[in-house]
Amino acid sequence: MSRRRIGFWYRLAAVIAKPPLVVLFKRDWRGMEHIPAEGGFITAVNHNSYLDPLSYAHFQYNTGRVPRLLAKAALFKVPIVGSILRGSGQIPVYRESTNALDAFRAAVEAIESGECVAFYPEGTLTRDPDMWPMAGKTGAARVALITRAPVIPVAQWGANLAMPPYAEENKVRLFPRKTLQVLAGPPVDLSAFYDREPTPDVLKEATEVIMAAVTGLLEEVRGERAPAQPYDHRKAREQQRHKAAGEGKK
């Protein structure tokens, strides 16, 4: 298998995005040696800011292996942005529709064609109060077990300090100048799952292995320990509903 060429649209996106990133931020990039030089592979990346897709893409663009990111389908309808996303081969994600499986199929095809597909396994910006990765969704694990492609964990930190997620004022805090830290690790060993039926429990277990690798890298970046159990947004919402229902009966 070969590697995806950096085409016109990707280069155009780089021309637009790289200069402000270089001027406004410092960079601490490590682990580029873990990005495969050839063949299809998956990256699993934590998500803590609307800015961090640019930070991560900048890092990987400089390795020469451009990623195809899964992005919300609505973004493909935005003028100019949508043209760049389509032209650079990004993959639209349609949630709760008849097209929901299209992203999954496109990811498998891309990897089997020797490309990189980037997953944000959390599925959304982290809701963890301390900005640690949440429990992941199983899409990346499902694609990994079908393709048996390497899964490279990637942790990033710093974009969230400049553009905090869910901030009430939604302020961008560029100064003092922040450092965008990105650390890629060695491939996650999922070989124990290859010959098992991909049941929901198996996919959940494989996802936990992937998320543990991403979280471990973020611990290294931050110099802190993550909680023993990742934040589960779904369980937290259920607990809030039950609490609200209980208070309503008083």
pLDDT in tens, 107-130: 999 999 999 999 999 989 999 999
Q: Is residue 2 part of a domain?
A: no
**Angle (deg, nearest 10), helices 139-147 and 102-112:** 40
Q: Is residue 226 part of a domain?
A: yes
Which range is least confidently modeled, 7-21, 29-43, 85-99, 218-232? Answer: 85-99
pTM, to two decimals: 0.88
Q: Is residue 3 part of a domain?
A: no
Give the model's pLDDT for residue 114: 94
> Number of folded domains in the chain?
1
DSSP bridge pairs for 116? 41, 67
Q: If you count DSSP H runs as helices and E runs as strands, how many of each does the chain have, helices first?
A: 8, 7
CATH number at residue 109: 3.40.1130.10
Q: Is residue 124 part of a domain?
A: yes
* Closest C-alpha to 10, from 49, 50, 64, 66: 66
Ramachandran angles phi, psi of 71, nearest 5°: -130, 150
Q: Is residue 108 part of a domain?
A: yes
Q: Is residue 1 part of a domain?
A: no
Give the model's pLDDT for residue 11: 85
Beta pairing class for 67-72 and 151-157: unpaired
Q: Is residue 51 part of a domain?
A: yes
Residue 148 to residue 193: CA distance in whole angstroms: 10
Cβ(162)–Cβ(178) below 8 Å: yes
Give the model's pLDDT for residue 244: 59
Residue 159 to residue 150: CA distance in whole angstroms: 26
What is the span of the domain harbouring residue 27? Answer: 8-248
